[in-house]
C-alpha cells in the first residue's frame, strides 16, 4: 500500500439504490463504513493487492503476537529477538512438535486471511 497522508478526496455520484448496495456490501465485508470499503476497493484494484478490514488486521496482529510467543518460548530472547509480550503460558520448555504445530496454526490463519482478501477483491 502506498504510504503518506491521505488528503485527496474523490466524489462520486450514485443513485440511492447504488449507495444502499455499497453500504450493505461494506457491512457484509467487515468495513466500518462505505467510504473505507470504497477506498479499499480502489486500492485493491490499483495495486492488485488485497486490503484488509479491521477484523482481519486485528487477526493478523494477533497472529504476529502468537509467533512472538512461540519464539520467546523457544528461547528466542536469548537470540536477541525483541520481547513483545508473554501470553498465559509458563516459562517451561516447549517441544519442537509443539512449535511446529503452533507455527503451522498461525500460518494457516494468516493464509486464510490473505486468501479471503484476494477472493474479495477478485485477485485470484
Q: Tens of pLDDT along 37-77? A: 999 999 888 888 888 888 888 888 888 887 777 776 666 55
Q: Is residue 35 part of a domain?
A: yes
Q: How many domains does the chain have?
A: 2
The residues near 102 (Cβ < 8 Å, ≥ 6 apart) are: 66, 70
Please check whether residues 57 and 118 belong to one and the same domain.
Answer: yes
* Residues 40, 58 share a domain: no
- For 105, list phi and psi in degrees, rounded to 5: -60, -45
Domain ranges, residue 57 = 52-124
C-alpha cell at 82: 525483541
Do the domain assignments include residue 3?
no
Q: Assess whether pLDDT exceeds 60 at residue 80.
A: no
- DSSP annotation of 49: S
Distance (Å, whole) CA 78 – CA 82:
10
Mean pLDDT of 13-31: 94
Look-up: residue for cell 486471511? 113
Q: Work out the pLDDT band at 33, boundaries 50, 70, 90.
A: very high
Residues 100 and 111 occupy one common structural domain = yes
Amino acid at each position: 500500500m502506498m504510504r503518506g497522508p491521505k488528503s485527496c478526496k474523490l466524489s462520486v455520484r450514485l443513485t440511492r439504490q447504488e449507495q444502499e448496495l455499497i453500504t450493505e456490501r461494506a457491512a457484509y465485508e467487515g468495513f466500518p463504513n462505505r467510504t473505507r470499503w470504497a477506498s479499499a476497493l480502489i486500492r485493491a484494484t490499483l495495486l492488485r493487492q488485497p486490503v484488509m478490514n479491521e477484523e482481519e488486521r486485528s487477526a493478523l496482529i494477533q497472529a504476529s503476537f502468537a509467533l512472538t510467543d512461540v519464539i520467546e518460548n523457544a528461547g528466542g530472547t536469548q537470540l536477541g529477538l525483541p520481547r513483545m509480550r508473554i501470553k498465559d503460558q509458563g516459562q517451561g520448555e516447549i517441544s519442537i512438535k509443539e512449535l511446529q504445530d503452533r507455527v503451522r496454526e498461525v500460518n494457516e490463519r494468516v493464509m486464510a486471511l490473505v486468501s479471503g482478501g484476494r477472493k474479495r477483491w477478485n485477485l485470484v
